[in-house]
A and B are shown apart, each in its own frame.
Chain A
């Protein structure tokens, strides 16, 4: 079974630029999550989708972050404009039943 796919693996941008991350969840998983993991911390939930609807985006900085899940499958997370404090690993996870999470390898973002 294919796992959660994320790209790119690494991204370096300058502050105020925009960036987008892509995630392809495990086939059949209804729930998709984007987490932000700052160095030395645990993952923090940014947004949770159930199929193509948003379940929770309470911790998403909506002035600069946006996310969508097209047709309830792939998802894209965008940051525009990026700030220095956005430097982190962005993890995508999927789950069949909102319980056990299957994670991708993450995208490591460095904002200079």
Chain B
């Protein structure tokens, strides 16, 4: 089965706190892509990052960082020194490249509230 689980429904933090959004995925394919998308209140999903299954190197982009661990099938997203503008719903997604059918499957999302 192809599945993405985001166990945290909502997270609330105070500005400048660090926050980690969890993502666990399931796939039998050995080749796949993982993504994070941000959906601000305006509604349009915005691409944040793509990782392929052969690249476990962690990535940092400004205040954002991603930790990909194939051993635990996890692709977690950390925001350092959170800001009010980070308030949004964040989706983790999986695109399997074999028997999974090449379609992007989304998790249920984690709603992040950052309070001033």
- A residues sitting closer than 8 Å to B (CB atoms) are 33, 40-45, 48, 55-56, 89, 91, 93, 98-106, 108
Contact = CB atoms under 8 A, between A and B. Distances in A.
A103 B108 CA distance: 17
Contacts of A40: 108
Interface string B15-54: 0000000000000000001010100001111110010000
A104 B44 contact: yes
B104 A103 contact: no
A63 B42 CA distance: 32
A41 B109 contact: yes
A101 B43 contact: no
Query: Which 7 residue pairs are nearest across A and B when measured between Cβ atoms?
Result: A42-B106, A103-B45, A105-B44, A42-B108, A43-B106, A42-B109, A106-B43
Given A48-B103, A56-B101, A98 B95 contact: yes
Contacts, number: 52
Contact of B42 (A55, A101, A105): A105
B66 interface: no
A104 to B, nearest CB: 7
A100 B42 contact: no
23 contacts: A41-B108, A42-B91, A42-B106, A42-B107, A42-B109, A43-B45, A44-B106, A48-B103, A55-B103, A56-B101, A89-B43, A98-B95, A100-B47, A101-B35, A101-B45, A101-B47, A101-B104, A103-B44, A103-B45, A103-B46, A105-B42, A106-B44, A108-B43
